[in-house]
Amino acid sequence: MKNQIFSPTVAKFKGDIQTSWDLQQPLVDAEYSRGLMLVIPGGIKGVTEDAEKQYNNLKDFGEIYGDAPVMTMLSNIPIEQMDFLNHSEFARTHVKTGVNFASKLPIGKRKIVTFHLDSLVSEEEFNSKNEIEWKNDFHNVIKPSLKEVARYASNKGVELKIETVPVPEFGDVSDKDERTYRGVKLHELRNPFYLTHQWGFEQIKELGLGICLDLCHNRTLYEIANTEDNEKVLHKSDKIFLKNKNLFDDVKKLESSDLIHLNDGAGIYSRNEDGTVASVFYEGVALGHGDIKNLREIVNYLNSNKIPWVLEVNEEGDFNNRPGSKKSIEWLLKDK
């Protein structure tokens, strides 16, 4: 086996499961092992009200799925349902419910659940505390909740992985988007707990959880660290550290029990002098068509070290045919 791979699917739709399964055939022919990542829209509703429909649709794949692991990616929208800083009890309940859902899946010998921390604040709040104070908040507010859900998942035989987020977390949203959270427009929200090998990976793992490193998300950290427009986005010491590092440094800190969202990213978040958004970045670009210059080297490293990955491409347009994913698979399989 070259490596374990996963394709995203919305299991509420039986046809989508089949499409996701068939899509991987060229990779299977190239000696990859195939698997599914269940994308759960709708927050906690997706693992409660929609659970039985997903179980029933997946049962038909039981025989052909074999011993491959199965992933469940919990929704980070509505934001408050996964906000471990401002709505800790709600977030714990959401993850535990997701663990219950995953533990009963009719496919997959190994059950994995991924989620965000969704710990979002305004720019004013972000700058009201220094880096040490925010890290104290992580230890005092977020860490106890993560320890609790980690114990719960372990007792259910489910692995938990925390997904890394971009900076800013909604930097792919323009200021024309009127959606808000806690009274703040999405593109103005900040996350004090972005995760890198500098800080975050070790803290998560010592709690008994793993890392789900999203390449296009963490790409933004290193891109913005090398611009002047990084105030109110990165902590001061991180700006200095990340400027001299790159995305591959995060990849090299992973273990085979961790996960990768394999994708490309393009563009950078920037603002005008009046604070309005000048440009946004793009997530989930087809492999080889974004700004991650050493993506081929990263893929070779993942395969050599058996760090499993999800082919997560957003620019599909047509989800029945998935041209972005097919373009990515062609890139993966072409001569290196």
pLDDT in tens, 243-277: 989 999 999 999 999 999 999 999 999 988 888 88
311: nearest Cα among 68, 55, 21, 15: 21
- In order of 84, 235, 254, the CA distances from 126 in angstroms are 16, 9, 28
User: Which run of H or E residues covers position 180?
Assistant: strand 180-181
What's the 3-state SS for 48-94? CCCHHHHHHHHHCCHHHHCCCCEEEECCCCCHHHHCCCCCHHHHHHH
Residue 335: what pLDDT?
66
Cα–Cα distance, 61 to 37 (Å, whole number): 14
Beta pairing, strands 5-9 & 309-311: parallel
Most confident of 229-233, 252-256, 275-279, 313-317: 252-256
**Across 175-193, average pLDDT:** 95
Domains and CATH numbers, the chain: 5-333 (3.20.20.150)
Phi, psi (rounded to 5 degrees) for 249: -65, -35
Secondary structure (3-state) at 218: helix
Cα–Cα distance, 119 to 192 (Å, whole number): 7
Cβ atoms 316, 210 nearer than 8 A: no
- In order of 45, 161, 164, 254, 298, the CA distances from 307 in angstroms are 31, 13, 16, 8, 11
Q: Produce one character per residue of 164-196: b if its CB has 16 or more CB atoms within 10 Å, e if not.
A: bbbbbbbbbbebeeeeebeebbbbbbbbbbbbb
**Across 191-212, average pLDDT:** 96
Residue 102: what pLDDT?
98
Residue 336: pLDDT over 80: no
Residue 230: pLDDT over 80: no
Cβ atoms 114, 260 nearer than 8 A: no
> Which amino acid would we find at residue 264?
D
* Contacting residues for 331 by C-beta, under 8 A, at least 6 apart: 286, 287, 288, 289
Taking residue 209's Cβ as centre, other Cβ atoms within 10 Å add up to: 22
Could you read off the pLDDT of 80-124 as tens digits, one per residue?
999 999 999 999 999 999 999 999 999 999 999 999 999 999 999
**Across 35-64, average pLDDT:** 96
> Which amino acid would we find at residue 143?
K
Mean pLDDT, the chain, integer:
95
Could you read off the pLDDT of 120-138 as tens digits, one per residue?
999 999 999 999 999 999 9
Cα–Cα distance, 82 to 142 (Å, whole number): 11
In DSSP notation, 303-320 reads: HHTT--EEE-----S-TT
**Across 269-292, average pLDDT:** 92
Could you read off the pLDDT of 50-92 as tens digits, one per residue?
999 999 999 999 889 999 999 999 999 999 999 999 999 999 9
Secondary structure (3-state) at 281: coil
Question: What's the pTM?
Answer: 0.96
Cβ atoms 250, 204 nearer than 8 A: no
Alpha carbon 112 to chain centroid distance? Answer: 13
Residue where the block lists tokens 């179980």: 55
User: Which run of H or E residues covers position 212?
Assistant: strand 210-214
Could you read off the pLDDT of 143-152 as tens digits, one per residue?
999 999 999 9
Cβ atoms 260, 308 nearer than 8 A: yes
